[in-house]
Amino acid sequence: MDNYDQFISKKTDSLPDKGKISCISPSNIALVKYWGKRPVQLPENPSISFTLEQCTTKTSLRFEKCKELSDSFNFELLFDGKPKPDFKPKIQSFFKRIEVYMPFLKNYKFSIETTNNFPHSSGIASSASGMSALAYCLIQLEKQIHPESSESYFLQKTSFLSRLGSGSACRSIEGPVTVWGSHKDIDQSSDLYAIKFPGQLHENFANYQDTILLIDKGKKQVSSSVGHDLMHGHPFATRRFEQANNNISRLKEILSSGDIDAFIEIVESEALTLHAMMMTSFPYFILMKPNTLSVINKVWEYREDTGSKLCFTLDAGANIHLLYPEEELKEVKEFITRELVAYCHKGQYICDKIGLGTKLL
């Protein structure tokens, strides 16, 4: 039975007067995809992801104790140095969800400054890095209030709170590989928070590369939240959740054994299955673009011609993540500049690799 009560902080009057906390949190890319959720922010199937290193959100949280306790949450938000009114309802909803676990929130006026180093709302998980960064800053404040709690507790609670802001955000706290969702073959796995992959990661996956091709930098016409909701009543949902559970079991063995060919098979199948669920929901929708399909075919041709271990995955968007071993870095970069850049928006792509999660600045 999941224990929510363990994350409820004791009320106390010993609150710091003011301060500033800054952190940087990465995005992540799911290998086995989570698509479909139940209240509140719980996954219909478990997922497993690579934590990234370069695609990050930097967040600074200033806090100052209010003279009088407010009935509402008192915060202002700057995104890239400017007010972002359309982000505020999401933060308001997040604070409302986590208030029971952080009863000191209404004691403070917060100033949140946040910036991404990658495009927002284009299929790189900006909500994952953004909400995990905010949750991490809030946990650092809680550390000042309750220093007696253990570091492992704070990491677990950060993941738990992040999930309440954005489901995939719970996978960004640690790295290089994390699992979110209860699964019979993953010890200590939980729907409430993500955990580090408990197996030994094979050296074949050390410093695994992720080059993100920016096929389309525009805002998605259907948000991930809407897409998740369309899994309710989806004709293929039950079978999809079974497939994801089976793929987690297989991927657990693959990540330990180093079988990259089997890794490629699962990762590409999962990416295409995710988009197949979108195309067969009602209403149906397509987030891939023509250039997405062109790149996928180019990747398959390249692998056939060279014996490369390059593969692709997709998040909920048109952009392509190219995953490959570090030893192929030079050859893959040459392939990208020679044949794939033409399909990218203004020739843009991001060179990333697996990383270790959120950190204090």
Over residues 150-209, the pLDDT tens digits come to 999 999 999 999 999 999 999 999 999 999 999 999 999 999 999 999 999 999 999 999
Tokens representing 309 are 């271990």
What distance in Å separates the CA atoms of residue 277 and residue 232, rounded to the nearest whole number? 11
Asked whether the predicted pLDDT for residue 47 surpasses 80, the reply is yes
Asked whether the predicted pLDDT for residue 27 surpasses 90, the reply is yes
Mean pLDDT, all residues of the chain: 95
Of all residues in the chain, the percent with pLDDT exceeding 70 is 98
- The answer to whether the bond into 176 is cis (omega within 30° of 0) is yes
Nearest to 50 by CA among 204, 207, 199, 175: 175
Q: Which residues touch 153 (CB under 8 Å, ≥6 apart)?
A: none
What distance in Å separates the CA atoms of residue 309 and residue 261, rounded to the nearest whole number? 7
Name the 3-class secondary structure at 322: strand
Asked whether the predicted pLDDT for residue 221 surpasses 80, the reply is yes
Tokens representing 74 are 């008192």
pLDDT for 2 equals: 74
Considering only 81-85, 192-196, 237-241, 258-262, which range has the smallest mean pLDDT? Answer: 81-85
What value does the mean pLDDT take over residues 64-77? 92
Q: What sign does the dihedral 316-318-319-321 (CA atoms) show?
A: positive
pLDDT for 13 equals: 85
Q: Which residues touch 252 (CB under 8 Å, ≥6 apart)?
A: 48, 185, 186, 197, 199
Per residue in 96-150, pLDDT (tens digit) is 999 999 999 999 999 999 999 887 655 566 889 999 999 999 999 999 999 999 9
CA distance readout (Å), 205 to 124, 209, 254, 282, 312: 21, 9, 10, 38, 15
pLDDT for 302 equals: 98
Burial of 156 (0-12, 13-18, 19+ CB in 10 A): buried
| Contact between residue 31 and residue 236 where contact means Cβ atoms under 8 Å apart | no
What value does the mean pLDDT take over residues 208-236? 92
Q: What sign does the dihedral 118-120-124-129 (CA atoms) show?
A: positive
CA distance readout (Å), 325 to 213, 237, 260, 266: 17, 33, 9, 16
Q: What sign does the dihedral 321-322-323-325 (CA atoms) show?
A: negative
- The answer to whether the bond into 283 is cis (omega within 30° of 0) is yes
What value does the mean pLDDT take over residues 344-348? 94
Q: What sign does the dihedral 208-214-220-221 (CA atoms) show?
A: negative
Asked whether the predicted pLDDT for residue 309 surpasses 80, the reply is yes
pLDDT for 241 equals: 98
What value does the mean pLDDT take over residues 259-270? 98
Per residue in 270-299, pLDDT (tens digit) is 999 999 999 999 999 999 999 999 999 999
- pTM for the whole thing? 0.96
Of all residues in the chain, the percent with pLDDT exceeding 90 is 90
